[in-house]
C-alpha cells in the first residue's frame, strides 16, 4: 500500500504536468519521454520506494555512509554480489539507450556517462536516508555507469532503426 501512494503521485504528476507538455511537442517526443518516465518510475520502485510514507521517518535511523572501496563484496565473496553487480548493470542499460533520444545534444558519450553517474549517485545517497536498511556503495555507481555505457552502445548500433521508428511515430 505504501508503494501505491508513490505510484499514484507519479501518475498524477505525469498526467497533470508532463503528458500535456510532451504531447504538444509531437508524438515522437511524447513516446520517448513517456518511455523514459515509466523506466525511471520503475528505477524508483526498485531502489527507493516507498518514498512518500518514509519521509516522516528519515531521521529515525542513523545515516550509513557510502562504502568507497570498489567491489569489496566481490573481493571478499560476501552476499549475492554476482546478482547485485548484474542487476546494477542491467538496471541502467535502458537509461543509456533512452537518454540520447531525449535531446539531440544528449547523444554524446560523455553526457550519457555523466548523467548516468549523477542518477546513480543521487540514488545511492538517498537510499540510506529513506530506508535505514539500505546502504550505498561505490560499486553500484561503477556498475550503473557500465550499464549506461552498454545501453549507449546499443543505442548507437540501432540508431538508424530508431530514427526510422521515431519518424514513423511522428508522422502517424
- The tally of CA atoms less than 13 A away on the side-chain side of residue 79 is 8
pLDDT at position 12 is: 98
Q: How many domains is the chain partitioned into structurally?
A: 1
pLDDT at position 1 is: 81
**Can you read off the three cell numbers belonging to residue 78?**
560476501
Q: What is the DSSP track for 35-93?
A: HHHHHHHHHHHHHT-S-GGGGGGTTSSPPPPPB-STTHHHHHT-TTHHHHHHHHHHHHH
Tell me the whole-structure pTM to 2 decimals: 0.92
pLDDT at position 73 is: 84
Mean pLDDT per 10-residue interval, the chain, length 172 residues: 94 97 96 98 95 88 88 84 93 98 90 97 94 88 98 97 94 86
pLDDT at position 88 is: 96
Domain that holds residue 87: 2-171
Q: What's the first-to-final CA gap in the chain, in angstroms?
A: 39
Amino acid at each position: 500500500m505504501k508503494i501505491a501512494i508513490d505510484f499514484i503521485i507519479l501518475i498524477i504528476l505525469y498526467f497533470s504536468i508532463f503528458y500535456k507538455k510532451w504531447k504538444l511537442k509531437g508524438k515522437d517526443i511524447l513516446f520517448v519521454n513517456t518511455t523514459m518516465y515509466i523506466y525511471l518510475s520503475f528505477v524508483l520502485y526498485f531502489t527507493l520506494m516507498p518514498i512518500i510514507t518514509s519521509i516522516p521517518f528519515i531521521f529515525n535511523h542513523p545515516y550509513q555512509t557510502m562504502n568507497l572501496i570498489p567491489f569489496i563484496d566481490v573481493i571478499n565473496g560476501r552476499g549475492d554480489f554476482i546478482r547485485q553487480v548484474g542487476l546494477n548493470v542491467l538496471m541502467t542499460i535502458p537509461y543509456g539507450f533512452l537518454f540520447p533520444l531525449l535531446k539531440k545534444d544528449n547523444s554524446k558519450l560523455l553526457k550519457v556517462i555523466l548523467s548516468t553517474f549523477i542518477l546513480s549517485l543521487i540514488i545511492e545517497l538517498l537510499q540510506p536516508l529513506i530506508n535505514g536498511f539500505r546502504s550505498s556503495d561505490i560499486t553500484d555507481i561503477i556498475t550503473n555507469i557500465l550499464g549506461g555505457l552498454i545501453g549507449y552502445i546499443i543505442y548507437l548500433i540501432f540508431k538508424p532503426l530508431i530514427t526510422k521508428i521515431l519518424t514513423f511515430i511522428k508522422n502517424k
